[in-house]
């Protein structure tokens, strides 16, 4: 099974088009999933949302998608200004779309090793899992998962898998520059 995961687009339509063009020249994928952070902080939030919606694939929510929805009240003025501009660009329909995105997506594997795709970790949208994370952090963030492989969509370190934890591999395929079989 071949799976492509695109994450952290951040309103960069040009980069999204480049990734989709690249994918079109690769062997076919069985599943395409967008793993959050669609439009905040980039020049083309509306275009990115339009393109993602046309892909008709599973899309999950990222932390900045939630910031666009809730207007980031706890953030500073610069972030709130960027959020306001993004909300203006995508309109209420775009905001509603981001608000309705699920937290995770699961791809079933008939051979028994399902893939759970989340933006940051299986518990929340904020706490990144780093390669040097102590076992206590892994136990807290991943302990509720038994037989899943986890793809972490947030940017960080790009050498999958970066941590192994009993029966799962947690890996951040760098802003969807990688395709890899689910049997890894």
Q: Is 37 helix (H, G, I), strand (E, B) or coil?
A: coil
Predicted TM-score (pTM) of the model is 0.79
Under a CB-based contact definition with an 8 Å cutoff, are residues 2 and 27 in contact?
A: yes
Q: Give tens-digit pLDDT for 100-153.
A: 999 999 888 777 677 888 888 888 898 888 777 787 887 788 776 754 445 555
- Which regions of the chain carry the CATH code 3.60.21.10? 2-100
Q: Does the domain formed by 2-100 have CATH 3.60.21.10?
A: yes
88 φ/ψ sector (left φ>0, alpha ψ -120 to 50, else beta): alpha
């Amino acid at each position: 099974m071949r799976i492509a995961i695109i994450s952290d687009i951040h309103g960069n339509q040009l980069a999204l088009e480049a990734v989709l063009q690249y994918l079109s020249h690769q062997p076919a994928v069985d599943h395409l999933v967008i793993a959050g952070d669609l439009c905040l902080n980039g020049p083309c939030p509306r275009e990115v949302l339009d393109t993602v919606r046309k892909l008709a694939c599973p899309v999950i929510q990222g932390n900045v998608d939630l910031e666009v929805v809730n207007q980031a009240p706890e953030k500073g003025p610069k972030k709130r200004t960027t959020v306001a501009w993004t909300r203006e660009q995508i309109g209420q329909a775009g905001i509603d779309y981001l608000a309705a995105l699920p937290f995770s997506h699961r791809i079933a594997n008939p051979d028994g090793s399902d893939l759970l795709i989340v933006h940051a970790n299986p518990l929340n949208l904020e706490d990144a899992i780093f390669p040097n994370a102590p076992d206590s952090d892994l136990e807290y963030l991943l302990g509720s998962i038994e037989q899943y492989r986890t793809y972490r969509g947030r940017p960080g370190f790009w050498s999958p898998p970066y941590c192994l934890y009993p029966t799962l591999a947690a890996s951040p395929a760098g802003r969807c520059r990688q395709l890899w079989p689910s049997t890894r």
